[in-house]
Structure 1
Amino acid sequence: MDFQPVERSSEEFQQPLTAREIEGVCRRAFGPSAVVTSAVELGTGMYNNVYRLTLAGQPQPVILRAAPPESRQFRSEHQLMRNEYASQPWLSVIAPLMPQVLAADWSHEVITRDWMIQTHLEGVPAPEHLGTYPRTAWPTFFRQMGAVTRSVHDVRGPHFGPVGGPGHGTWSEAVITSLEEIAADLDGAGLDAADVRKVAAVAAHDRALLDEVTEPRLLTGDLWTVNALMDPAAPEPVITGVLDFDRTWFGDPAADWTIRMATAKEDERTAFWDSYGAPDRSPAAVWRARVYEARHLGAIRLERHRLAKVDAVRDSYGAMAEVLAGLT
């Protein structure tokens, strides 16, 4: 087998699979006669290890994703791959844009990690390809992103919180629990979590504003340009695929990462709202948006710590202080 892993130190969060482990996974998924002829690790993932595999006798490659060992997972990011798997039926509205799951295994009998094999989607990552078009064409891309997000947010769920559970009866309970889990993870990482706990306390005090959200809607969790694929030959931007739905939630659509990114700048991305619909600008919605931003900042702080980006971790405290000032 031609094996091309990404070189990493033993201290890095992501740790590659061995060629033997990859072969074992494929035999479990496709039978004892399966032969892997090529395994190329794709360095685009920041959480799971991702490989493009070619198998003898199969015309199309497949994608193998291996979750981090559970001992390396944060409490607020526990079993994300299982959450993504549980989300598949709820995401059927965008199924033509998504990879299909060919096999998944949580048993840890082959390797001591959760893993999933999916179909390989054709296309070029949007961060690489969108810039090949003139900026006047970019709104076309963001209108498509708005339409995809709108279709996901229109899906109604049975509870608040992660799709795979645990579920909560109220939106405030789901949000406060998430903030408390992020704070506990920051403690475990040796980082100051006092500001996240202050946000959780404010949210608990004014939980009635959160509980104005009474209908759980499906949230993409992580969808933006980095998770979109584009047609490399189209004369204008065309989204051909969307990836990585391991952070799906049921809750307030305004709490979605996609909405956060759509409102981040007043540039071509404002075309997102043409197809999505106008955002709620009421005082209660603005207050809730600050709580959601604090939750995003706490999660970003954890991710930056995981990636050893010390300056970005430090900067997150100033950004959180601004959000807290607006909340209190």
Structure 2
Amino acid sequence: MQFRPIERPDNSFQQSVTAEAIEAMCRRAFGSNAIPCSAVELGNGMYNNTYRIDLGDDRRVILRVAPEPARQYRIERELMRNEYASTPFLASISRMIPRTLAADFTHEIIDRDYLFQTMLDGVSGPEGIGQYPQSEWTTFFRQMGEISRSIHAVRGDRFGPVAGPGFGTWAEAVTAFFIDLVADLDDAGLDSADVHEVLAAVEKYQAVLNEVTEPRLLHGDLWTVNVMMATDAPEPTITGVFDNDRTSWGDPDSDWPVFMAAKKPGTERDAFWETYGQRPSTAAAARRSLLYLAKHIGAIRLERHRLGNADAVPETYEQMRNVLGQLRA
């Protein structure tokens, strides 16, 4: 088998598996006669290790391998199992997401979860949208709003990650997230004092959070980098959605695509709201939005640390100070 892993420093978060392990995974998933011709690691993801596997006879599949359990943050624990559990709830966009061909969470071959998926057609979102003039990007963001709205329309019976743990109230789910975030920051050697203050605000505004009584499906990571686009289409056209591993049940206003769409007002992203609808404008919703913003900033801080992007970590402290100032007011 031709094997092309990505060479990384020994201390990198992402660590490739061996060619022998990939061959064993293929045999388990597709039978003892399955001998891959090649395995090429793809570099566009920042969490799982992802490989394009050629099984011969013009059959190509995607292999995704999760980090070792000990390397996973509490706020990102067992994301691959979460994605596996979420697939039936993403039925409204099932035509756009990859199909799982095989999954193995036994850790009998390697001490990591892994699964095989079908390959999505098209080109990555960043590559695809760059092929169109910026004036046409509004079409892309309208589609993003439509996809987000269809996901958020799905109702659940509890709050929290799709695979669990589940919570009876939204305040309990938000509290649990920030408790885990503080512990992750402490383990990483990062100052968590500002997140402790946010956690105190979460406790203070329990009633405001619990105005959200109906759990809705959240994607958790839907934006440009996690979609595929049609090639040579007359206008930007989203054809696929992948990396669906951060799904949860909660308040749609807390979801990642809502955060990203609101991040640059007055740009092409405003087209998102044309199909998604407008955000709630009550005082309670504004208070919740500040807590959601703190949630995103804290997760970004951890991710930058994990990726070794130390120069970008201090910015998150300034952003959190701004949020805390508004919460105090």
Runs of 5+ consecutive residues of structure 2 not aligned to the other structure: none
Name the CA distance, whole Å, in 1 between partners of 2:319 and 2:135. Answer: 31
Deviations 1:252-306 (A, max 9, x none): 0000011000100120011011111111121111110100010111111110000
Aligned length, in residue pairs: 327
1:240 aligns with 239
Separation in structure 2 between the aligned mates of residue 10 and residue 158 of structure 1, nearest angstrom = 43
Aligned to 1:301: 301
AA of the residue aligned to 1:234:
A
The Cα of 1:315 is off from its aligned counterpart by 1.2
2:282 counterpart of 1:270: no
Output the amino acid matched with 1:325. Answer: G
Q: Report the equivalent of 1:22.
A: 22
- CA shift for structure 1 position 245: 1.0
Where do 1:1-328 residues align within 5 Å?
A: 1-57=1-57, 59-266=58-265, 267-328=267-328
Whole-Å Cα distance in 2 between the matches of residues 44 and 132 of structure 1? 18
- Secondary structure at 2:10 match in 1: coil
- Residues in 1 aligned to 2:134 and 2:59: alpha-carbon distance in whole angstroms: 34
Report SS of the residue matched to 2:37: strand
Deviation at 1:206, TM superposition (A): 1.3
Q: CA RMSD, aligned part only?
A: 0.7
- 1:198 CA drift (Å): 0.7
Distance 1:278 1:242 in 2: 23
Q: Is the 8 A contact 1:25 1:111 kept in 2?
A: no
Q: Which runs of 5+ in 1 are unaligned?
A: none
TM-score when scaled to structure 1?
0.99
Query: For residue 171 of structure 1, what is the amino acid of its counterpart?
Result: W
- Check conservation: 1:186, 1:302, Cα contact below 8 A: yes
Contact 1:60-1:120 at 8 Å conserved across structures: no
Whole-Å Cα distance in 1 between the matches of residues 280 and 231 of structure 2? 35
AA of the residue aligned to 1:227: N
Q: Secondary structure at the match of 2:228?
A: strand
Note the alpha carbon deviations across 1:136-190, whole angstroms, 9 max, x for none. 2111010001000000000001100000000000000000110110110000001
Residue type of the alignment partner of 1:139: T
Mapped partners of 1:135, 1:10: distance in 2: 40
1:97-137 per-residue CA deviation (whole Å, 9 max, x = no partner) reads: 00000000100011110001000001111111212111221
Q: Any idea what the Cα deviations from partners look like across 1:190-219, whole Å, max 9, x if unmatched?
A: 111111111011111111000000000000
| Partner amino acid, structure 2, of 1:66 | V
* Larger mean Cα displacement after TM superposition, 219-228 or 123-132: 123-132
Confirm or deny: 8 A CA contact 1:26 1:36 kept in the other structure: yes
> For residues 180 and 95 of structure 2, what CA distance do their matches in structure 1 show?
34
Specify the code of the residue in structure 2 equivalent to 1:244.
Answer: D
Aligned-partner Cα distance in 2 for 1:236–1:180: 44
